């Protein structure tokens, strides 16, 4: 069969993938970098989704935070912008968690500040009053705590891998 610039279209179409390519993907799924990237990506996805939702549809959240009218919607939309701003280190961390370890550490610290701050805010609300507001803050605490645990796990994976590589 004639080749076109050294390529044989029939052979290339029926070519079985080289085992080294398959092994590359198998090794990637087993790598520490894959799992840490997946954990960071999971947290980033839900944080970005929440930020966009708060920014685009603030009217859905004003009642839960006992805010009314245009000032309440503007405040909630502002929270959405803040959510998006706070996720900048996550993008650097997800790109290459091994090399961008500092961004991952920053993300863990920011997430921890969020959980601690929300917990303090919850203590300021009288326990038998504003039950809807309390439940909304509780949802934030649970949401951010889950994100914090996933980011800590991603950091531990990277740090354990780094110490393993340093011992070789």
Per-residue pLDDT of 134-154, as tens digits, reads 999 999 999 999 999 999 999
- Mean pLDDT, the chain, integer: 84
How many helices and strands, by DSSP H and E, does the chain display? 7, 0
Domain boundaries, the chain: 32-167
Q: Average of pLDDT values for 87-100?
A: 90
Q: Which tens digits make up the pLDDT trace of 20-56?
A: 555 555 555 567 888 899 999 999 999 999 999 999 9
In 3D space, the residue among 90, 144, 135 whose CA is nearest the CA of residue 117 turns out to be: 144
Quickly tell me which residue has 């891998």 as its tokens.
161
Give the pLDDT score at 32.
80
**Alpha-carbon torsion (33, 39, 43, 46), positive or negative:** positive
Separation between Cα atoms, residue 122 and residue 140, nearest integer Å: 10
- pLDDT greater than 50 at residue 13: no
The rounded distance, in Å, linking the Cα atoms of 15 and 168 is: 38
- Give the per-residue pLDDT at 30: 62
pLDDT at 96: 85
Q: What is the pLDDT of residues 48-80, one digit of tens each?
A: 999 999 999 999 999 999 899 999 999 999 999
Q: What is the DSSP letter of 59?
A: G
Residue 137 CA: distances (Å) to CA of 65, 118, 125, 143: 9, 7, 10, 10
Percent of the chain with pLDDT over 90: 64
Pick from 64, 40, 44: nearest CA to 54 = 64
């Amino acid at each position: 069969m004639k080749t076109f610039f050294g390529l044989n279209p029939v052979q290339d179409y029926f070519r079985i993938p080289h085992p080294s390519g398959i092994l590359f993907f198998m090794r990637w799924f087993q790598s520490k970098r894959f799992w840490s990237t997946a954990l960071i990506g999971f947290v980033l996805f839900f944080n970005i989704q929440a930020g966009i939702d708060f920014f685009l549809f603030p009217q859905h959240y004003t009642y839960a935070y006992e805010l009314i009218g245009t000032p309440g919607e503007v405040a909630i939309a502002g929270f959405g912008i803040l959510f998006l701003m706070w996720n900048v280190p996550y993008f650097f961390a997800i790109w290459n968690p091994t090399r961008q370890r500092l961004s991952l550490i920053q993300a863990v610290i920011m997430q921890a500040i969020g959980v601690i701050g929300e917990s303090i805010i919850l203590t300021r609300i009288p326990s038998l009053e504003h039950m809807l507001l309390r439940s909304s803050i509780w949802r934030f605490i649970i949401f951010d705590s889950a994100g914090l645990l996933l980011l800590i796990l991603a950091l531990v994976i990277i740090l354990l891998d780094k110490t393993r590589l340093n011992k070789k």
